[in-house]
């Protein structure tokens, strides 16, 4: 049983009507009405921003996914390398310094708060300034 349709007047420019006539066969639509209804649904989805993936061509989605994946992989590799370098630096410092457990615990607390406060934008200048004042 077909869904009930509502009939109403629609005005459009002759150029737009010609475009609809030309595009109907390309979109495998049986009627101009079907084409216009599909176009309205598409545009409504586009405007609302919901289900954006349904309106992007599969090829574009594939390219976007692979680009994001490549960036993610690169960032992970760089973070791993950075962690290795930081571990080496900490081991060199620990070998040459004698720091008490209490001082180390207090410094860790300060560093956590500093990273949170600066959103990770920590500079050597600020660390030197903090060390001059004292832990």
8 A C-beta contact, residue 38 and residue 29 = yes
Q: How far is CA 88 from CA 74, 82, 115, 131, in A?
A: 21, 10, 21, 22
Higher pLDDT, 129 or 18: 18
- What is the rounded distance in angstroms from the CA atom of residue 21 to the CA atom of residue 12? 13
What's the pTM value of the predicted model, to 2 decimals?
0.44
What pLDDT digit, counting tens, does each position of 76-109 carry? Answer: 999 999 999 888 888 888 888 888 888 888 888 8
pLDDT of residue 56 exceeding 70: no
Q: Alpha carbon 92 to chain centroid distance?
A: 38
pLDDT of residue 50 exceeding 80: no
Q: Is 77 exposed, middle or buried (0-12, 13-18, 19+ CB in 10 A)?
A: exposed
**What confidence tier does 2 reach under pLDDT thresholds 50, 70, 90?**
low
pLDDT at 133: 82
pLDDT at 53: 61
- What is the rounded distance in angstroms from the CA atom of residue 105 to the CA atom of residue 111? 10
What pLDDT digit, counting tens, does each position of 3-46 carry? Answer: 788 888 889 999 999 999 999 999 999 999 999 999 998 888 77
Q: How far is CA 77 from CA 80, 83, 84, 116, 120, in A?
A: 5, 10, 11, 24, 19
Q: Determine the average pLDDT of the residues in 66-82.
A: 94
């Amino acid at each position: 049983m077909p869904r009930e349709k509502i009939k109403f007047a629609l005005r459009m420019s002759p150029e737009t009507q010609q475009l609809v006539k030309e595009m109907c066969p390309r979109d495998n639509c049986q009627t101009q009405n079907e084409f216009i209804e599909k176009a309205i649904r598409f545009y409504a989805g586009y405007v609302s921003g919901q289900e954006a993936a349904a309106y992007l061509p599969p090829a574009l989605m594939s390219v976007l996914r692979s680009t994001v994946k490549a960036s993610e992989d690169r960032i992970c590799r760089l973070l791993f390398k950075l962690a290795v370098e930081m571990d080496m630096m900490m081991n060199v410092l620990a070998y040459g310094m004698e720091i008490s457990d209490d001082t180390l615990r207090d410094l860790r607390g300060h560093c956590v708060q500093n990273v949170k406060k600066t959103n990770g934008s920590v500079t050597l200048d600020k660390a030197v300034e903090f060390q001059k004042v004292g832990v």
